Amino acid sequence: MGNKQTTFTEEQLEAFQDCTFFTRKEILRLHSRYRELAPHLVPLDYTNSPEIRVPLTLINTMPELKENPFRDRIVETFSEDGQGNQTFNDFVDMFSALCETSPRELKTIHAFKIYDFNRDSFICKEDLRKTLNKLTKGELTAEEVTLVCDKAIEEADLDGDNKLSFSDFENMISKAPDFLRPAAALTLTAAGSALITQDQDQDQDQDQDQDQDQDQDQDQDQDQDPGCIIMSASVLKCN
Amino acid sequence: MEVDTVFFTDHSGRVNSNPLLDQLPSYQSLLYRRKSSTAGPKRKGSSKARRSSSGSGKWAVNTVNRNEEKQKTLTLQRPIRELAKSMAEKRRNKTQCLENDQGLSSWRQWKQNTGRHLRRLRDDAQEWLSYLQLWRGDIHLIEGMFGTGILSYFSFLRFLVMLNLIIFVLVFSFVMLPIIIAPHAGGNITYNQNDGSNCSVYPSSARRGLVNFHEHITDLLSGGGFLEQTYLFYGYYKADKIHFPWTTYNLPLAYLLATVAYLFLSLVWIVKRSATGFKRNLIQDEDRFQSFCNKIFAGWDFCITNENAARLKRSSLLYELKTDLEEERIKQKIADRTRKQKCRIYLIRFILNLFVIGVLAACFYSIYIATIFSQEAQMSTVKVNFIVDLIFEYLPSIVITMANFITPLLFSFIINFEDYSPAFEIRFTLMRCVFMRLTSIGVLLFSLWSQITNCEKGSCVCGYNDKLYSCWETRVGQEMYKLTIFDFIIIIAVTIFVEFPRKLIVNYCDCGLAKWWGQQEFSIPQNVLEIVYGQTICWIGTFYCPVLPAICTIKYFFIFYVKKVSLIKNCRPSTRPFRASSSNFFFLGVLLIGLLLACVPVTVSVAQINSSRACGPFVNYTTSWEVLPSTVSKLPQGIKGLLFALASEAFAVSFFVITCLAMFYVIALAGAHKRVINQLREQLVMEGRDKRFLIQKLCQAQKISAIRSPVSKSQPRTSRSSPSYHTSFSNNFDEAVFLAHSPPDSSTHV
């Protein structure tokens, strides 16, 4: 029967649905995006869970990540080997954590890891300096950079060790109103990419949404409008 | 940089974390964040979903286990997908959950299943409702292209469309619908009697004979002629009571109460919408609280996929950071000002404020003159010319629009000399513009009223000038109607005749003018003021022109598309970012000011000015307000007594006193909370220092014991990547000093 998809087994799809914030359709679409990055590397059939890793450089070509100054760190954070080579599990995990429906706490944890360049579980001044330089691409003078970093640490450091521990960071983020708004930090949704609307052929496969046992199903895709260039319509969730 | 003895660096420059720190309970809680108590029953009933903690460290496992048990009994666990672990671990968790689930009794299973289905139903319903939201796709598109500042403008516009629609439905169903359905439902309408006295003559304004086409246009644009005696204006609602078979419907009372209701509804809705923004603003109680951190960590918009947009975002972030640094410098400069400089600055500010007041006074006076001239021109029977007539009719609107165009430019020019901090400059200019816009409507109304109550022979017999204004409410309604139409025309005209040519010139012409003018930026504050101005007119005008909300709904509907097209085609995103978080609060704040300002004329005209004798529902009453007391006096004794008691001074005073007490209590509570927060903050600093001190001591102790017994140091590194939290942190256990092999120090054992 042409309707059945052959990429994943049912158990795999269920597992994905439970462990991420995506629906079946979106997971399959993610798989096709993943495959697009390296068609010769990634097989169509994932039923036996092959151990394929797509390298960092290819993942960084995705339009959602291409313009992001932290793309390297994001991909590294969500990769098992820490070098940025992502398996499909990592790939899905990354987008799940960054999508709109993932809760603030989860995003805060991952944000902390992303901004911690030297992975010492603290955001020290050096990390801050690197973050700022990535943000502004060296447009600030060194003196201004130092000043800004000092001020930032002064604002957020609660326990007085001149570094930001996770609790400092979390406390600061909880007061940052821009953090969780859709189209704000750490949320990958919304417009701009024309690549993504062409997955029409995948749509026919997943028309029946089977009732899952452990469902936290939030079936919210909006792929009705093929002309709509909202990325989330085909890749990620959208509120 | 200070050398931190707690951490060791290896040659690669990466700092390896001390595994002790990773085993701390505060660290372990990274994985299993305890959700707040408002968490719904989103749970898979698992008794042991938590895996063991980091590799070694039995004591750590024990303590964390104990903590976890405690946590589990206190709260419900989180869904698996909200845990900060890798996919593989989440799947393991899930299979464990499944296994545990089998062991539950059938009652529990049924309960869980029902809970799940209900949840799913609720999620579906929510999703379905969100589909119904107007313009969802458009707004999402705009958000992606231009960011959240402009998004808030468009969602504000959508809010106004909804508000106007609801107001219209309210007014329609209580005022127009009974009149419309009366003939069909067997109702009998009693009209207000023309008692033939002086004041009750209402000459018809319909045009007689052959009417030119352009006269129809004039009528349409000015609300006169054939439009005057229609549902559009107050004067048409002459019905006094409508006698249905089952009840009597008191139309004047309904008219008055509908007015009060729509003002109240608007107030409630706006306050509700701004409550979230206000709470957020309260949290950031200081002016520059956390601004740097916010910009660095939450500044980048992760949705940007366009290279241009990324460049713009970067430059806007840069601009923001530079502005903040500038603010710091200016603060420093202000603190360093000498006395002489201060005097000079204050003098300059005083003079400039006088100048601003002068400009405002001049504008208001010109509006007053224009209104009087326009009214006289309309009253006179000498008609010059179609176009000139139209201009005379629209003269107040034209003057108001021109004043509102010039004054912002003037204000933003002046503020440069007043030497305030940049943030304050922006806010102050905005306040001045808001004041200008909203007060100009007030001046228009005031000049109208001065005309209406201005009789030739001293005081007026009817309370108003009945010769010229036999139905003055309709006239006021017509003025409001004209303002609305003109506003709409101007917005469209500016877009077509100014913004499009500007884009063409800037794109295709390489002259100096193009460079100086630059590409259009979507200025959010000015656009917001525009629509708040329109909405204020709508609120004032609905009493006199009940169909005005519907007209405004249609107007805002079209404005949305006009602005959207203009934005996408003509504008580039602003290099000066408009804070999205505070913008909602700003919009709603200005709207609230507009609402309060709109209440004043309506209240004055309802309560003070005599209603027309010749038209409208309030013919039999002196003022419009009088219908309420007269209705109350006809009520049965019990209710009447209750209402009188509610309106009495005793009740009002005691209500006021109680409200004051409640307010003082809440303020005291807030002060106490602030003190507690400060104390806790200090405590946290102390705890941090304690922790570092203890860890230092511990490391020293370990070093000493390691030196003494080198044999026991060679521990297997097998569990290098601990299964429970696969993060990049776990990769650094190259030279771990595992505590499992030295007896736990009671001082660190929790």
This model of the complex carries an ipTM of 0.73
Rounded (10°) angle between helices B472-494 and B548-570:
10
Q: pLDDT (tens digit, 9 = 90+) per residue, A3-53?
A: 467 788 888 888 888 788 887 888 888 888 888 888 888 888 888 878 888
- Note the pLDDT of residue A188: 53
- For chain B, the distance separating the N- and C-terminal CA atoms, rounded to the nearest angstrom, is 33
Q: Report the gap between the CA of B146 and the closest CA in chain A (Å).
A: 10
β-sheet bridge partners, residue B520: B571
- Note the pLDDT of residue B169: 95
Q: Is residue B487 part of a domain?
A: yes
What are the C-alpha distances in Å from B720 to residues B55, B154, B732? 7, 52, 8
- The sign of the dihedral angle between the CA atoms of A35, A40, A42, A47 is positive
A148 touches chain B (CB under 8 A): yes
Instruction: Check pLDDT > 70 for residue A86.
Output: yes
Q: Are A193 and A231 in contact (CB under 8 A)?
A: yes
> Of residues B539 and B376, which shows the higher confidence score?
B539
**Structural domain total, chain B:** 1
Q: How far apart are CA B448 and CA B619, in angstroms?
A: 21
Interface probe for A, chosen from B90, B283, B305 (most Cβ of A below 10 Å), is B305
Q: How far apart are CA B407 and CA B415, in angstroms?
A: 12
- The sign of the dihedral angle between the CA atoms of B154, B156, B157, B158 is positive
A38 touches chain B (CB under 8 A): no
Q: How confident is the model at residue B62 (pLDDT cuts 50, 70, 90)?
A: very low
Instruction: Check pLDDT > 50 for residue B4.
Output: no
Q: Is residue B253 part of a domain?
A: yes
Q: Report the gap between the CA of A121 and the closest CA in chain B (Å).
A: 7
Q: pLDDT (tens digit, 9 = 90+) per residue, B176-229?
A: 888 888 888 777 777 776 666 667 777 776 666 777 777 788 788 887 777 888
- Note the pLDDT of residue B354: 94
Listed range (A88-102, B429-443, B506-520, B652-666) with the worst mean pLDDT? B506-520
Instruction: Check pLDDT > 70 for residue B499.
Output: yes
Q: Is residue B312 part of a domain?
A: yes
Q: Is residue B573 part of a domain?
A: yes
A vs B, Cβ pairs < 8 A, gives 263
* Count of beta carbons in the 10 Å neighbourhood of residue B674: 11
| C-alpha triplet B723, B727, B729: angle, nearest 5° | 105
Q: Is residue B106 part of a domain?
A: no
Mean pLDDT to the nearest integer, B126-140: 77
B293 vs A167: CB contact, 8 Å cut-off? no
Instruction: Check pLDDT > 70 for residue A183.
Output: no
Q: Decide: helix, strand or coil at residue B319.
A: helix
Q: Is residue B77 part of a domain?
A: no
Q: Is residue B679 part of a domain?
A: no
Q: pLDDT (tens digit, 9 = 90+) per residue, A48-68?
A: 878 888 888 888 888 888 888
Mean pLDDT to the nearest integer, A197-221: 32
- Note the pLDDT of residue B582: 60
Kindly identify which residue of chain B lies nearest to residue A13, measuring between CA atoms. Answer: B91
What percent of chain A lies above the pLDDT cut of 70?
Answer: 72
Mean pLDDT to the nearest integer, B527-539: 92
Instruction: Check pLDDT > 60 for residue A156.
Output: yes
Average pLDDT, chain A: 71
Kindly identify which residue of chain B lies nearest to residue A176, measuring between CA atoms. Answer: B294
Q: Containing domain of residue B352, as a range?
A: 137-196+205-647
Q: Is residue B55 part of a domain?
A: no
- Note the pLDDT of residue B353: 92
Which residues of chain A lie closer than 8 angstroms to B564, CB-CB? none
